[in-house]
Structure 1
Amino acid sequence: MNRSGVQPLDAEVGKWLRKLAPNVRVKVLLNKAEGMHDDASGSLMAAMGEAYSLGFGTPVAISAESGLGLADLYEDLRPWVETAQEALLAKRAAANLREEESAAVETELEFRVDEPAGSGLENELSYKGELSSLEDISINSEVRLSLGDTDEFETKLNLNEENEALMSEAELKRVPMQLAIAGRPNVGKSTLLNSLLMEERVLTGPEPGLTRDSIRVEFEYENQKIFLVDTAGWMQRKKLKEGPAALSAMNARRNVQRAHVVTLVLDAQEIAETKRSMRHTEAALAQWVVQEGRGLVVVVNKMDLLAGSEHARLRSLVMKAVPEEITKLLPQVTGVPIVFVSALEGKGRAAVMRHVNESYRLWCVRLPTAKLNRWIRKVMSRHPKGGEGHGAKVRYITQVKARPPTFVVFVSGQGKLDDTELRFIASALREDFGLVGIPIRVFQRCSKDQRTVE
């Protein structure tokens, strides 16, 4: 498929595949998608929603010319290839076992023929009985080996829509998580990296600007492979001139944009002294991360400097001010995780990784279409307009992609849903399905226009 959308011939090919090749897994690709990812009109989401109607799951938008989207395509195809390889190996193992057992039967018969025994009839019956029992063992062993794996393979190939929509924990852990640590200079980003790795991997110190280049480290946490990136201090571009600082800032932005989850590090001591939780730079970074559709975890570092009874009041003010500021700054994303840590003392490491893993899991979540449509009928009945304001009526809803979760509401009638109704649907999705702390996107598909709410 390309930008022209689903054509009649595409639908015919889809019917042919479902009828004549039901056991073949199909992935729909939207080619020539360059420039459509940043289209504010939502044309890409509308095209993906239209392609979803073919019945082959969530399509992948790519650009064969520029390579855009090929990483997402690889992540989608990799579990299929691994499953097919496992099934092929199981079939080969079953064939080898069958050959070995056949050879064992022949050897046993040759050995028995050379033995002097009773009458020929007794020997013949004995040989036939032993041969029958050995063949039964061989067949049963083959069934246990091959049919178990084959059934599992066929079950995976013939997954219904509900099972296909849910990403299992094992499949989720196959894809490495991209985690970035970002924040202003000298807030303890490198110290936090060392704390998460539980080793002195990078250089730290009281001087700001020690990290010039982004540092990428691979490690595992609870069987989840993670690529952790420690970025240079985040500074406004207008304050930078040409030179190493400008290159460091550009590299930091590039790594944050590639990340799946971003940890924004704040300085607790500075918050207590200035009586404000976030500067303009940090607020702009948090908003940019959410707009890019990434998971966000806020880490308030240097809480060890506010330890003790003499700092109890300041500590309480910091722990109250940060959540309030995040709620005002990001009203469209409720429940952003906030962790208070001391990276220098190694306190709070487990809490940080727990919230990071949970944000990544929600960021990758997929909801079945059937479940969504049962839900949308109930939730719109709670809305004052009932989903039929201005001549528009909600027909159905589907999730067209994950990472972040993106939904398309199909609307019929002469009108369209207004922004308040789309925000109502987005809020209800977060509340009813527990999609808190991550950005979700809701588009509407109607005859004339498309709108989106994050």
Structure 2
Amino acid sequence: MSLTVAIIGRPNVGKSTLFNRLVGKKLALVDDTPGVTRDWRAAPARLAGIDLTVIDTAGLEEAFDDSLEARMRRQTERAIEEADVALLLIDARAGVTPLDQHFATWLRKGKTPVILLANKCEGRAGAPGLYEAFELGLGEPVPISAEHGEGLAELVEALLPYVPPEETQPDADQEAEAGTDPEAREDGRPEPVRPLQLAIVGRPNVGKSTLLNSLVGEERVLTGPEAGMTRDAITVEWTYRDRPIRLVDTAGMRRKSRVDDKLEKLAVADALRVIRLAQVVVLVVDAEAILDHQDLTIARMVLDEGRALVIAVNKWDTVTDRAGTLKQIDDKLQSQLAQVRGIPVVTLSALRRQKLDALLDAVLDIYEIWNRRVSTSDLNRWLAGMTEAHPPPAVEGRRIKIRYMTQVKARPPTFALWVSKPLDLPETYIRYLVNGLRESLDLPGVPIRMLTRKGKNPYAEE
């Protein structure tokens, strides 16, 4: 059983730095600017044999209206409610501030146990603040340095009283001796289904966070009229029709020439990382600005990475000329993304929770196509028909011969052609084969990669 710990504190005390240190990855954006983190995010960690779920939260602010700061505070309160232990982080070099005292008083009234951490205690500069921390009334502070990794052993000792007892489960060696190796699954149990990695991307303020909240049925991430609200890529574990899905909300991606702010550059880089790790990407576009230049740039980026793509046209309830808008979408896809025909397009309203099932069904369908494999015999029968209908061109008086074809991998579907002169096979002929492959063997909407190889048929008998 995992111990859930929430890292809390006022802005710019090092919460995200500690989060990255505990999870062992640079998942959270870190910058000297206060208020970088806005949504809370969770990630698994293991510290000295203790399994943890670590939650990074926004900086606590004394705001109780409908402002962005107040919404961030409410998100942090929810994270504290879900945690087994709260880690209150203070900046030892800055000393105890009135805001630290205010929130320490507030935490003492709550039900969640609190461990006080004095950050930035490397060297002697943090010593006065460490001693001041005793006056917060939360017990002995644990001196740490999140940036340098100091004090983690003391943090483990402070966490041990809250670690739940181990469940009585046989370990891997015991299962292997009993003939039930969890890797082999000889006991007949089904293999665990891995979550589908689903990323939500798009321009700022098109409704990405609203879509995630509507899908999971709760206010998991901040939403509002302010553009660029999401900065960190927020991951949410979720299940749809018994299928585990890992949803990731990302920051809005503007044109590169318009991105000047350092934090926005970091947020966009994080969004690009999410795209590379995703399996299916939902590109959210605004129904009032259909597939503009930046939308198409993001779509090409997703396809170039080999990810499966679904286009979600949000705010569809505001569209009056729906037939004309659909025709406009189809024309742009045909002209601008002709290399991948059949990309699924779903019209919906994230705010009104309309047609969300249609979106998820399209995601599952395109994921199945993205994973599809075609038998070698079917491929070569198809290839014979294609080359007979339109033979490869001749080079220097000799016709190029395509001897053989096989699928070398899925995700995305990737095929290899054994060609007599691979460097001379025109790109137009490869596109002819890809388009025919997509239509004849039912591979719509996913990127298809075609590789050329020189040599004899590796499967031919000697």
Q: TM-score, normalised by structure 2?
A: 0.56
Aligned pair 1:301/2:301, yes or no? no
Change (3 A) 1:193 1:387: farther
Change (3 A) 1:89 1:371: farther
Alignment partner of 2:385 out of 369, 378, 387 = 378
How far 1:198 moved relative to its partner? 2.2
Give the AA of the match of 1:229.
Answer: V
Secondary structure at 2:406 match in 1 = strand
How far 1:90 moved relative to its partner? 8.2
Give the AA of the match of 1:397.
Answer: M
Note the alpha carbon deviations across 1:343-362, whole angstroms, 9 max, x for none: 11111101110111111111
Aligned pair 1:364/2:371, yes or no? yes
The residue number in structure 1 matching 2:256 is 237
CA distance in 1, matches of 2:318, 2:399: 59
CA distance in 2, matches of 1:220, 1:281: 31
CA distance in 2, matches of 1:374, 1:252: 42
Alignment partner of 1:287 out of 277, 296, 300 = 300
Aligned pair 1:421/2:429, yes or no? yes
The residue number in structure 2 matching 1:127 is none
Secondary structure at 1:352 match in 2 = helix
Aligned pair 1:394/2:413, yes or no? no
* Alpha-carbon RMSD: 3.2
How far 1:243 moved relative to its partner? 2.6
Q: Is the 8 A contact 2:350 2:356 kept in 1?
A: yes
How far 1:391 moved relative to its partner? 2.5
Q: Is the 8 A contact 1:416 1:446 kept in 2?
A: no
Change (3 A) 1:90 1:371: farther
The residue number in structure 2 matching 1:331 is 338
User: Hey, which of these two has a bigger chunk of strand by percent?
Assistant: 2
Larger radius of gyration: 1
Give the AA of the match of 2:375.
Answer: P
Q: List structure 1 runs of 4+ shifted beyond 3 angstroms.
A: 87-93, 384-390, 413-416
Change (3 A) 1:92 1:185: closer
CA distance in 1, matches of 2:317, 2:421: 59
The residue number in structure 1 matching 2:153 is none
CA distance in 2, matches of 1:415, 1:237: 34
CA distance in 2, matches of 1:444, 1:361: 25
How far 1:378 moved relative to its partner? 2.5
Alignment partner of 1:350 out of 347, 357, 375 = 357
Give the AA of the match of 1:426.
Answer: V
CA distance in 1, matches of 2:361, 2:422: 47
Secondary structure at 1:423 match in 2 = helix
Give the AA of the match of 2:367.
Answer: Y
Note the alpha carbon deviations across 1:378-408, whole angstroms, 9 max, x for none: 3322224599994221111011111111100
How far 1:302 moved relative to its partner? 0.5
Change (3 A) 1:219 1:419: same
How far 1:329 moved relative to its partner? 1.0
Task: Name which structure has the greater RCO, CA cutoff 8 Å, separation 6+.
Answer: 1
How far 1:223 moved relative to its partner? 2.7
Change (3 A) 1:423 1:210: same
Alignment partner of 2:247 out of 224, 228, 236 = 228
Give the AA of the match of 1:189.
Answer: K
CA distance in 2, matches of 1:414, 1:227: 40
How far 1:88 moved relative to its partner? 6.2
CA distance in 1, matches of 2:257, 2:180: 63
Across the two proteins, how many residue pairs are aligned to each other?
281
Secondary structure at 1:339 match in 2 = strand
Change (3 A) 1:387 1:379: farther
5+ residue gaps, structure 1 = 1-83, 94-148, 154-169, 272-276, 449-454
Q: Is the 8 A contact 1:387 1:393 kept in 2?
A: no
Secondary structure at 2:401 match in 1 = strand
User: Hey, which of these two has a bigger chunk of helix by percent?
Assistant: 1
The residue number in structure 1 matching 2:204 is 185
Alignment partner of 1:278 out of 276, 291, 295 = 291
The residue number in structure 1 matching 2:279 is 260
Give the AA of the match of 2:260.
Answer: K
Secondary structure at 2:452 match in 1 = strand
How far 1:92 moved relative to its partner? 6.8
Alignment of 1:135-154 (within 5 A): none
Give the AA of the match of 1:350.
Answer: D
The residue number in structure 2 matching 1:143 is none
Q: Is the 8 A contact 2:283 2:312 kept in 1?
A: yes
Alignment of 1:9-408 (within 5 A): 174-268=193-287, 270-271=288-289, 277-306=290-319, 311=320, 314-385=321-392, 390-408=398-416
Q: Is the 8 A contact 2:285 2:291 kept in 1?
A: yes
